[in-house]
């Protein structure tokens, strides 16, 4: 288990992380996302012992490693997997994984587990990016760490490899039962593989919750916007319900004046009834199309249709709201509005 309490890290006068508290349970995988410069890497480095916090305490497996005392990185029993593969170029795969392992301990089970047994005697330069990250993870796991920290481990890989490798790595971490923090820029990655997702902003953890809670019940507009395409619809209370220009909606909060968050999959197009908007743009995505529609009320929304429906800019359409769940209401109007 990892426990971070009121972590603060300053670089000179710059506050990189502020009052961050987070517990990662045994076997839990927490993904951390946020805009560039929000403090994700600094948080990992503080946990790894590569950066000295200015305030707060960190405990790994119940042992204080930062706070009342400072334990150096090599004595924290923490495995690190970073974006730059960081393998020793002059050592083979087996030697990389076995580096500083107690003598006599075989690396072969780790190589087999990560699917790089055939590359055992190869040097890193002969490996693909995906193989390098498998070796890096095998090396981290071989030291039987109490915690694994992954900083953008897939960002140097191409899209199709990323998709499969993220699941492989997740499965290995889950099987090993080791708690992990995985920093990523990729919202889809963070939403899909994390048991919980933390969204950082300006050095602070703005929200930490199960991914679908962060997605459907974001605590702020910035969390909502960071986790995918969003539109905001004007909303107001009427007869105890919440009304929008697209009709009545259910909201998580008491009906009031403000805007409801709608994502493309909360909206649809009706074949019947009067038009209430004009298609502004259409983007083909493969199996789906994303449309931007300027509603007659002045708001612009994005919605997704099946690729078989083709709508051209300028076309009049009828947008409906049918999320199948209560919507999040934010008081006041957005800055954009
Ligand atoms: N060694 C350093 N010295 C001074 N300032 C630093 C140092 N490392 C990071 N910073 C600053 O601290 C803040 C947080 O940086 P950090 O790298 O943790 O952000 P990040 O969320 O990981 O960003 P990215 O997504 O771009 O990797 C930034 O404003 C950055 O400029």
Task: Compute, in angstroms, the gap from residue 43 CA to the centroid of ligand 1.
Answer: 10
Taking the C-alpha atoms of residue 38 and residue 196, their distance in angstroms, rounded to an integer, is 18
Nearest CA to ligand 1 atom 1: 11
Both tokens assigned to 64: 């204080």
Q: Is 198 in the pocket of ligand 1 (CB under 6 A)?
A: no
**What is the β-pairing status of strands 241-244 and 78-82?**
unpaired
Q: With contact defined as beta carbons under 8 Å apart, do 101 and 142 qualify?
A: yes
pLDDT for the residue 298: 93
pLDDT for the residue 157: 77
pLDDT for the residue 333: 65
pLDDT (tens digit, 0 to 9) for every residue of the chain, 337 residues total? 999 999 999 999 999 999 999 999 999 999 999 999 999 999 999 999 999 999 999 999 999 999 999 999 999 999 998 877 688 999 999 999 998 887 778 898 889 888 899 999 999 999 988 888 889 888 988 888 999 999 988 887 777 788 888 898 898 899 889 999 999 988 889 999 999 999 999 999 999 999 999 998 999 999 999 998 999 999 999 988 889 999 888 888 888 899 999 999 999 999 999 999 999 999 999 999 999 999 999 999 999 999 998 999 999 999 999 878 889 999 876 554 4
pLDDT for the residue 284: 94
Prediction pTM value: 0.89
The DSSP letter of residue 254 is P
Q: Is 331 in the pocket of ligand 1 (CB under 6 A)?
A: no
By most ligand atoms within 8 Å of CB, the mutation choice from 7, 33, 41, 156 for ligand 1 is 41
- How high is the ipTM of this complex? 0.96
Ligand 1 atom at minimum distance from 9 CA: 12
Dihedral angle sign, alpha carbons of residues 238, 244, 249, 252 = negative
pLDDT for the residue 33: 95
By most ligand atoms within 8 Å of CB, the mutation choice from 42, 156, 205 for ligand 1 is 42
Q: Is 41 in the pocket of ligand 1 (CB under 6 A)?
A: yes
Task: Compute, in angstroms, the gap from residue 309 CA to the centroid of ligand 1.
Answer: 44
**What is the β-pairing status of strands 247-249 and 316-321?**
unpaired
Residue 47, CA distances (Å) to 18, 80, 186 in order: 14, 10, 22
**Packing angle, helices 129-142 and 159-176, rounded to 10:** 10
Taking the C-alpha atoms of residue 67 and residue 54, their distance in angstroms, rounded to an integer, is 9
pLDDT for the residue 159: 78
Q: Which residue ranges form the domains of the chain, and what is each CATH number?
A: 2-77+145-224 (3.40.50.300), 229-331 (no CATH)
CA 110 to chain CA centroid, Å, is 27
């Amino acid at each position: 288990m990892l426990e971070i309490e009121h972590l603060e890290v300053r670089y000179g006068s710059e506050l990189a992380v502020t009052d961050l508290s987070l517990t990662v349970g045994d076997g839990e995988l927490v993904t951390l996302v946020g805009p560039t410069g929000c403090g994700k890497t600094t948080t990992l480095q503080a946990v790894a012992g590569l950066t000295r916090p200015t305030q707060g305490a960190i405990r790994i497996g119940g042992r204080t490693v930062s706070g009342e005392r400072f334990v150096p990185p090599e004595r924290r029993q923490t495995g690190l997997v970073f974006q730059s593969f960081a393998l020793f170029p002059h050592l083979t795969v087996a030697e990389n994984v076995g580096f500083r392992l107690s003598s006599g301990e075989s690396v072969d089970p780790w190589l087999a587990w990560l699917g790089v047994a055939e590359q055992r005697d190869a040097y890193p330069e002969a490996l693909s990016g995906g193989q390098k990250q498998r070796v890096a993870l095998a090396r981290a796991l071989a030291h039987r760490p109490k915690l694994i920290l992954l900083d953008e481990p897939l960002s140097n890989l191409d899209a199709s490899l990323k998709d499969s490798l993220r699941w492989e790595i997740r499965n290995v971490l889950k099987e090993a039962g080791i708690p992990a923090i995985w920093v990523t820029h990729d919202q889809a990655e963070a939403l899909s593989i994390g048991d919980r997702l933390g969204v950082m902003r300006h050095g602070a953890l703005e929200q930490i919750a199960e991914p679908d809670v962060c997605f459907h019940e974001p605590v702020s507009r910035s969390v909502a916007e960071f986790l995918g395409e969003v539109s905001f619809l004007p909303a107001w209370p009427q007869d105890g319900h919440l009304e929008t220009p697209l009709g009545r909606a259910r909201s998580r909060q008491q009906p009031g004046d403000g805007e409801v968050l709608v994502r493309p999959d909360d909206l649809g197009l009706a074949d019947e009834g009067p038009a209430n908007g004009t298609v502004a743009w259409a983007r083909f995505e493969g199996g789906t199309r994303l449309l931007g529609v300027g509603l007659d009320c002045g708001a612009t929304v994005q919605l997704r249709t099946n690729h078989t429906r083709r709508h051209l800019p300028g076309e009049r359409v009828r947008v409906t709201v049918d999320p199948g769940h209560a919507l999040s209401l934010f008081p006041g109007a957005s800055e954009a509005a």
